[in-house]
Structures are given as structure tokens and as C-alpha cells.
Structure 1
Amino acid sequence: MAAKATLHCLTGCAIGEILGMVIGTALLWGNVETMVLAISLAFLFGYFFTLFAVRRAGLDFKSAVKVALAADSVSIAVMELVDNGIIAVTPGAMEAHLSDGLFWSALLGGFAVAFLITTPMNKWMIGRGKGHAVVHAYH
């Protein structure tokens, strides 16, 4: 269950983060602006996937927002911290372009490490009725 919850979270994070990196890089933004956009979009897409699922299960919008925030906030934050930390410390990754293998290997490697770190954390939270445990009543 924890791996599935983490993969769900990672999907939203990856879509948002990749989209943010592509937009920032294409617009020739600086590293800080691009990372802020990427992280913001990662949270947005991460929350959206949960929001969509619990709304489809019948929750009203306000309740669905509360569930999405409770389910995903810690998971997305840890995932983004790990992923962006890896990108930041990988030599040359912040200066790499979309066509560079280094750009994609640092980004995808960061996602892989974030998944490995976030899954046990999600397992611990689910075991205590927190995080994605609040969503399972609606799936």
C-alpha cells in the first residue's frame, strides 16, 4: 500500500516537476525561478490527482481539498526535497539543457531515490492512520 501511495504521489510530482523544468529551461529562466516553478507544479499536480480521485468518490470540494492536503503534503514535500537536493548537488545538472543526458539522468535519478526514501515514510504514516491512509476510505 505504501509503495502504491508513493507511486501515486511520484506521478503527480514528476509531471509537475518535469513540466516546470521544461518551461523554465525553454524560457531561459534562472535556476531558482525554474526550481520554484517546478516544485510548485509538483505540489499542484500531486494534490490534483488525489483531489480528482476523492471528488470522483463523492466528496464535496472543501472536504476533498482537506483530504488531499492531509494525504499528500508530507509525501510531496519529502519527495521534492530529496529530488531537488539530488539535482542541486549533481555537478552540472543545474546548468544542463533539455537535450542533455545529464539533465534527464539527474532528474530521473532523483525521482528514483525520492521514491526509495519516501516509501518507508509513507508506510510509517499509513500505519498510524496518517498520510494516504485518509484517502483509502474513499477508494
Structure 2
Amino acid sequence: MSAHDHNPTGRALTSSAIAATVHCLTGCAIGEVLGMVIGTALGLHNAATLILSFVLAFVFGYSLTIRPVLAAGLPLARAFKVALAADTLSILTMEIVDNGVIVAVPGALDAGLFSLLFWGSLAFSLVVAFVVTVPVNRWLIGRGKGHAVMHEFH
């Protein structure tokens, strides 16, 4: 890779940020949806459901980063450090926005699993979180942080 590939600018930077956010969204969405479904199905308190979703989003988000880093030959402890550096701010932003939107939609947390309100608000929250997180990832990558630390492992 050239130095330009490691420090993209302009459209390349935006493209890198979008790709990083799609990666983040994948892990966050798996964890978020799983947490919401488990919490709702078990009848957990809304706060417990949000916490479960938040934790699972980090677990799945980090897992999607750790897997290819481990495949590149790094030991688990180092792979975890790379995942922390690459994904923490992105996942945190996505989860704050995502959960904030769900809380803000009247009745969303109390809607059942077979409710359009439940699934619609969850989908809407992920879209809003994606839009808000792209500029965060663009800022991070532009400074050699966030997903920029992953370049050597691809």
C-alpha cells in the first residue's frame, strides 16, 4: 500500500469512513437486535434491555474486528487492543445514538416482538446511528485512528 492509502483524503476518506461505519453497523446491529429481542422476549425492564443491547453490540462489534486480526497472526491480547483502538469510539457513538433514538420513539421499548413499532423503531435507530457515525469515523481515519489502525492487517 502507498502512503496515500493509509491517509486518505476527500472522497477516499469519506469512502473509508462509510466502509468502517458499515463494518461497525454490522456488529452493532447484530448485538443491538439480539439484545432487544432477548430483553423483550424475557420481559426485562427497559433499562436492562438497553444495557444488554449495548453490551452485545460491543461484543459483536469487537468480534468482527478481532477475527481477521487473529487470522493475520496476532495473538489474542494484541488483537483485542487493535479492536479497542479501531472500534471503541465508533461503536460507542453508534450505541448512544441508536439507544437514544429508541428511547425517544414513544412506546418503542414497550412494543412487543410482533409489533411494527418495535422493528420499525429499531431499524430507524440503526439508520440514524449510521448517519451520525460516518463523520466520526471520517474524523478518526483522517487522523490515522479508528479503522485506520486496521490497514496493516488487511
- Name the TM tier (shorter chain): over 0.9
- Kindly state the Cα deviation for residue 117 of structure 1 after the two structures are TM-superposed: 0.8
Distance (Å, rounded) in 1 between the aligned partners of 2:109 and 2:36: 10
- Kindly state the Cα deviation for residue 102 of structure 1 after the two structures are TM-superposed: 0.6
| Alignment of 1:99 onto 2:143 | no
| Alignment of 1:70 onto 2:70 | no
Distance (Å, rounded) in 2 between the aligned partners of 1:78 and 1:95: 24
- Kindly state the Cα deviation for residue 56 of structure 1 after the two structures are TM-superposed: 0.8
Residues 1-139 of structure 1: pairs in structure 2 closer than 5 A: 1-139=16-154
SS of structure 2 residue aligned to 1:65: helix
Consecutive unaligned residues in structure 1, runs of 5 or more:
none
| Coordinate RMSD, CA, aligned | 0.6
Residues 45-99 of structure 1, C-alpha deviations (whole Å, 9 max, x = no match): 0000000111111111111010000000000000000000000010111111110
Which structure has the bigger radius of gyration?
2
Partner of 2:5: none
- Per the normalisation by structure 1, the TM-score is 0.98
Q: Flag as ranges the 4+ runs of structure 1 deviating above 6 A.
A: none
Distance (Å, rounded) in 1 between the aligned partners of 2:87 and 2:53: 17
Kindly tell me the number of residue pairs found equivalent between the two proteins: 139
